[in-house]
Amino acid sequence: MRGRRRDKLGDRVRRYDAAMSTAPRLARIVRTARTARTARAASAAFGAGVLAVACGLAGAQPVGLPYSAAVAARFPAPSQRYDAPVLADDAVDFTANADLAAQMAGLAAMAASAPAGTRIERLQPGRSQDGTAIEALRFSRGANRPAVLLVGQQHGDEPAGAEALLIVARALAGTGQAGAQPKDLGARPSPVADLAAVLDRIDVILLPRANPDGAEWQRRINAAGMDINRDHLLLRTPEAQALAALVRNQRPVVVVDAHEHTVVGRYLEKFNAVQRHDMLLQYAMTANLPESLGHASEDWFRQPLLAALQAEGLTAEWYYTNPTTPTNLRLSMGGVQPDTGRNVNGLRNAISLLLESRGVGIARLHLARRVHSHVVSLATVLRQAARHADDLVALQAAADAEVRAAACGGRAVVQAQTTPTRRTLLMLDPATGADKPMEVDWFSALELRVRTERTRPCGYWLAPGQTVAVDTLRALGVQVQQLARPATLMTEAWIETARGEIPRPDVRGIASDGFRTILQLVVDLRLEPAELPAGSWYVPLDQPLGNLVIAALEPDTQNSYVANRLIDRLDAARRVLARPPEGALAP
């Protein structure tokens, strides 16, 4: 009987997921009709499975849920009610790109009337693959203050972060329209009450929607089929390039990446369980990250986040995911590769935080609670950043100095992995809604296993023709210098001993990488002097982004510029073991 019940639940979620794949097309019909009656008529052409999604988008009582009513009862609407159009009783969709642009323009136009001398600057660091502007707002009350960057919706099917950032933006602008209205006299005060006071200590930059094309079609990837959040080292997508430009120009001390995680889908199919937690949290965890950043992330941010969420009756856990392959039952914390925004921004020596509310695969279900979870989290981060403003400046400066001083000596981790273990994780029974403790294979990012380690060189040499790699490094903010005259230096060349060609691995299985493959190299090192010609390039490690350079230029990793063909041949790069002589580098 239990097996048959599990099969029925699996069939239900497969029908629901199939309906969700049709949701973008159906959503356009619903936006035109704005009625459940039209949605039902439209659904007749697409099958009964779509009907539940259509009615949910139209605000009607859903015909079916992706889980039982008992599970739904575990996630009541919050007592706080935000004055946000997307949360209105008659709302049927998420904020469209055109509406978001209009709201951003309206907020920027209020700069003259903003309280306490608040300046609001509208920024456009880039455009999407299909040409939609990627926009941000910078809120400031003074010069030379540390900046906090809040980013939403890198994945287009994860809308709650973007909607929460618009609420936070209205609160910072002091419009009086973002405050929450309690349903009863015992409700807690709004999480965004007096939030603009943080601007006395920090600047805040909000980029609500990093993937407007994905948002338009309600899909994870961008218009070219690539996952933006696996592109922050390679910068192949215009969206990742826009985020890199924003970070390079603003140099934030804290970066927050707001996402949503899968609620049913493979968890119901593989574990016969539903995701329990309102918010999953993680900070940067990758090789060569200064330890001080991890301690500050835990003490100054994750612990206060746990307390703030608990105070609102919201549950939290470490972020984790599961591969999309049907037979793989392992659960992994967020990846340790230097490709996500979380890890790349950590290697920029910023506190880098990931927020993941429940939401993927459930359309508008529990949207008010999902948005509220993000608002609580974002407001907590901003208040903690304001409280530790001076500490954060000192922390980043110390990390910069530590990385610079490490050049030409010591060890650098080239490849690292998560650590396998077992743990008990709470999920929900999909029928009863009760807590369901589960013993799972857990791959922890809290302690990394070193696979490859090498001495840290003084820098790297690139051959004259490697302009793609040079331009990409500079787009990240890395200092790259050109040799004005030849120089003979002691170097290490990588000697290939084996190679393969594979899809780029990812903690979810395979990265959405535009159907590209990577070179999988095995190399040895050969010590030798080399004459480096004028016009070639030197990338020093005695700079704040030195650890990011290692991630890009050691060739035998899945994210390296050689493996991903930004450097077109192995002998076009070398490890340099001595600094170039004075006068060899162009000013």
Do residues 438 and 383 both lie within one domain? Answer: no
- Structurally, the chain folds into a number of domains equal to 4
Please give the helix or strand (H or E) that residue 262 lies within, else none.
Answer: strand 254-262
Do residues 46 and 155 both lie within one domain? Answer: no
Whole-number Å distance between alpha carbons of 286 and 302: 17
Residues 197/199/201/204 CA torsion (nearest 10 deg):
130
Do residues 497 and 397 both lie within one domain? Answer: no
**Positive or negative torsion for Cα 346, 453, 236, 358:** negative
Q: What residues form DSSP beta bridges with 360? A: 262
Q: Decide: 153 and 161 in contact? Cβ < 8 Å.
A: yes
Do residues 564 and 465 both lie within one domain? Answer: yes
Tell me, yes or no, whether 525 lies in a domain: yes
Whole-number Å distance between alpha carbons of 403 and 382: 27
- Pairing mode, if any, of strands 435-455 and 331-333? parallel
Q: In Å, what is the CA distance from 473 to each residue of 126, 405, 481, 533, 550?
A: 18, 20, 11, 20, 11
**CB under 8 Å to 63, separation ≥6 — which residues?**
51, 52, 55
Whole-number Å distance between alpha carbons of 79 and 87: 13
Tell me, yes or no, whether 585 lies in a domain: no
Tell me, yes or no, whether 218 lies in a domain: yes
Helix, strand or coil, per DSSP, at residue 300: helix
Whole-number Å distance between alpha carbons of 458 and 542: 7
CA 161 to chain centre: 11
The pTM of the full predicted model, rounded to 2 decimals, is 0.89
- Pairing mode, if any, of strands 331-333 and 351-360? unpaired
Do residues 382 and 435 both lie within one domain? Answer: no
The CATH number assigned to the domain holding 310 equals 3.40.630.10
pLDDT on residue 543: 99
Do residues 236 and 188 both lie within one domain? Answer: yes
Do residues 123 and 39 both lie within one domain? Answer: no
Tell me, yes or no, whether 486 lies in a domain: yes
- What stretches in the chain show pLDDT beneath 50? 1-63, 177, 179-185
- Residue found under tokens 């995701």: 275
Tell me, yes or no, whether 583 lies in a domain: no
Number of Cβ atoms within 10 Å of the Cβ of 501:
9
Tell me, yes or no, whether 75 lies in a domain: no
pLDDT on residue 435: 98
- Domain hosting 510: range is 456-576
* Amino acid of residue 378: L
Do residues 516 and 437 both lie within one domain? Answer: no
Tell me, yes or no, whether 581 lies in a domain: no
Do residues 436 and 467 both lie within one domain? Answer: no
Do residues 135 and 232 both lie within one domain? Answer: yes
Do residues 297 and 389 both lie within one domain? Answer: yes
Tell me, yes or no, whether 71 lies in a domain: no
Q: Decide: 263 and 13 in contact? Cβ < 8 Å.
A: no
Do residues 419 and 488 both lie within one domain? Answer: no
pLDDT on residue 195: 97
Closest CA to 320 of 480, 458, 438, 233: 438
SS3 assignment for 374-434: HHHHHHHHHHHHHHCHHHHHHHHHHHHHHHHHCCCCCEEEEEEEEEEEEEEEEEECCCCCC
